[in-house]
Structures are given as C-alpha cells and as structure tokens.
Amino acid sequence: MNKKFFAYIEYDKESEVYVGYIPSVNGAHTQADTLEELNEKLKEVLDLCLEEMNNDDINSIPEFIKIEEIEYIWVSLS
C-alpha cells in the first residue's frame, strides 16, 4: 500500500516532550524527546495500527485535503 498520512505534532512544555498523532487513524499517537525520535515512533505506531485493520477499514481512512489555520481573538467581556 502506498498512502500518505499526516501527523499533528505539538510540544508539551510541561512534560518537555513532543507529542504526535495521526488524526485519520484511531490509536496512532505517541510522544518522544526529539522530533527525529517522534517521527520514528509515529511510523512504528502507524504500522501497528494498520496491521490491526482489515482492508475495508484501511480503505475507509479519510483522504487528507489540507490544513486550515483559524485565528481566534479572545475578547474579554468583563
């Protein structure tokens, strides 16, 4: 299978680790100390998740279209 997956990556300041997940695949999430390690671990967890899926599950994975940035300005009413 040749399919691209996109991961959402954040840095958790409190625990000082990178956290990543692949929104289109249930259970595909992990964390690591470096981005390089996170990339490797995301590939491993993706492989494990896909091994547990049947062909119908894999074919029903949504197609990635784009990421849209939404800016929200919080205005306090008090």
Q: What DSSP character marks residue 60?
A: T
Give me Rg for the CA atoms of the chain. Answer: 16
Q: How many helices (H) and strands (E) does the chain have?
A: 2, 3
Which are the contacts of 49, defined by CB distance < 8 A and separation ≥ 6? 25, 26, 27, 28
Q: Could you tell me the two tokens for 14?
A: 């409190």
Q: pLDDT tens, 21-52? A: 999 999 999 999 999 999 999 999 999 999 99
Q: Tokens 């492989």 appear where?
A: 47
To the question of pTM greater than 0.85 for the whole model, the response is no
With 70 as the cut, is the pLDDT of residue 18 above it? yes
pLDDT at 1 over 90: no
